[in-house]
Structure formats: C-alpha cells, structure tokens
A and B are shown apart, each in its own frame.
Chain A
Amino acid sequence: MMRRDIFQAIADPTRRAIITLIALQAMTPNAIAENFNTTRQSVSKHLRILTECDLLKQEQQGREIYYSLQLEKMKEIDIWLQQFRKLWETRFHQLENVLATIKKQKK
C-alpha cells in the first residue's frame, strides 16, 4: 500500500468533512456517501486515501464494512508539525525551480 501523509489527507474539504462525520460514530461507506452530494465512487476514493494515511480503520461487521477514526493518529500537534514540514518541503521544491529558472535566464 502506498504511504501517504496526513497533510494530503486533510488537504481536501470532502475528506475533512468525512473525518468530522466519522469522529461521531463508525459508519458504512453507503451511510457516509449519503452525506455528500457526490458519487459513491468518489467517496470510496476519499475513504481509501484516508485509510492509507492510517486515519481511518475498517472493521467487518457481518456483511458490512464500518469505517472509524484512528484516534491516536489525530494528535493535533503532530498533525500541525506534519503540515509544517510539508509546507517547507513544498517551499523547498518551489525555490529549487525558481533558482533553476533564474540561472537559465542569466546564461
């Protein structure tokens, strides 16, 4: 499974809404999808991304799969730090590009 970072998970408004929703109670994908004005497929994709970030866990109950929140993953400070890291990583790559462009113009 591909590793994703938490920043990516919460960068999307639908995913943030899913987190808030699931924080209240474990829910099936259908029940989650009912809360959104979007396709079942798109909700599945969001659930997959959140699961890959270890923010959600799946539990089989009878024939249904329930998604719930991994509370221990939601430690706020660590999430902020993760985001801050991501912010600087993005800045780093953007600056690399800017520098490369300036160097080319100078030649």
Chain B
Amino acid sequence: MTQESVFDFIVNKPEKKVLITMEFDADLPLVWDAFTKQEILDQWYAPKPYSSRTKSMDFKVGGRRFYAMVSPDGLERWAVQRYTSISPKTNFKFFNVFTDENENPDPHGSDWDLNFSEQEGRTRVHISIYNESMERMESLMEGFKIGYKMTYENLKEVLAALVQKQKQA
C-alpha cells in the first residue's frame, strides 16, 4: 500500500446526514463482497474488542441482515438492516434499526445509502446515513454503546442538576 489511506467523515446537521468516504487498495468486487457477505462483514464490522455476530443474512431486496454487536463480557446489542434497493457492485440501500433479541424493532431507525466505484484498482465507498432526528443520532451507535449508556444517563442527570444550580447561583 503505497498511497495514503483515505477516510473522511462529514456531519451535515441541517440535512441530518452523516457522510463517510473510504478508499481501499483493493478491486471493487472484493470490497463489494466485504460489505455484502456475512463471513467477511463479521470480520470487520465490530470495533475490537467487540465482535459482530450475524444471525441471519439474505442479501436481496426485501431481505435483511439480523446481527448483534457482542461486548467482551457477552452483552449483545441487536440490530436489523433491511435491504431496500440493490444495484450489484454499484449501490445498495438499507434501513437500519435496533431491535431486541427477538427482532422487535425500536420505533426509529436510519436510512443508509452506500455507493461503490473503482478507479485504477482502488475502490471508493461513499456512505450516506440519514437520521430523521439529529438528537437521535446516538441511536446510530451500535453495540459499543452498551457500556456507556448507564454512565451517560447518570452524567446527564448530574449535568442537568449542575446547570440548575448555576442558574440559581
């Protein structure tokens, strides 16, 4: 790998979108497989030391990937990605929503749009994620939110109390 790696992450708050661009030193069919085949997806989708466990995956329009992010101490955070559109080796779209272990979804999810293109043996992936509410952006966080949630609930209360105190002072 002689060229520098390309990774770009842009937040567009007015449009409620997150845009991610990545470039890989690999040809398009391989990168496409890495995003659409569960045996490769599970190798990179969870940030270590978490692991990604796909329970079932059917990559076709109307199909879905039902998977969990598993923490080192075995806590599971389930989510489902329902494929809404597929143009082989060019684009696919899915609706991502968190669920319980029985696949009962949360009320809100996010829309993902992934574009693939190749130039001179390098493959670019553009991901656009639309969340209807920026305040719910946190729901984009997957399994590794588990450990933080409690702390943040606590912290939020503590901070709210603190701000109240400052106002009174």
Contacts and interface: CB of A to CB of B under 8 A. Distances in A.
Q: Do A and B come from one complex?
A: yes
Interface of A: 10, 13, 16-17, 19-20, 23-24, 71, 74, 76-77, 80-81, 83-100, 102-103
A103 B30 contact: yes
A10 B159 contact: no
A19 B158 CA distance: 10
25 contacts: A13-B147, A16-B151, A17-B151, A20-B155, A24-B158, A71-B162, A76-B156, A77-B134, A80-B137, A80-B140, A80-B141, A81-B18, A81-B137, A83-B148, A84-B137, A87-B141, A87-B144, A88-B7, A91-B44, A91-B47, A98-B34, A99-B34, A100-B26, A102-B30, A103-B30
Contacts of A87: 47, 141-142, 144
A23 B144 CA distance: 23
B1 interface: yes
B47 A20 contact: no
A101 to B, nearest CB: 9
Given A89-B7, A98-B34, A74 B47 contact: no
Nearest to B24: A99
A78 to B, nearest CB: 9
Contacts of B141: 80, 83-84, 87
Chain A at the B interface: mostly helix, strand, loop or mixed?
helix
Contact of A99 (B31, B137, B148, B162): B31
Contacts, number: 97
A88 B46 CA distance: 9
Given A20-B154, A91-B45, A99-B34, A10 B148 contact: yes
B151 A20 contact: yes
Contacts of B154: 20
A23 B140 contact: no
A17 B155 CA distance: 9
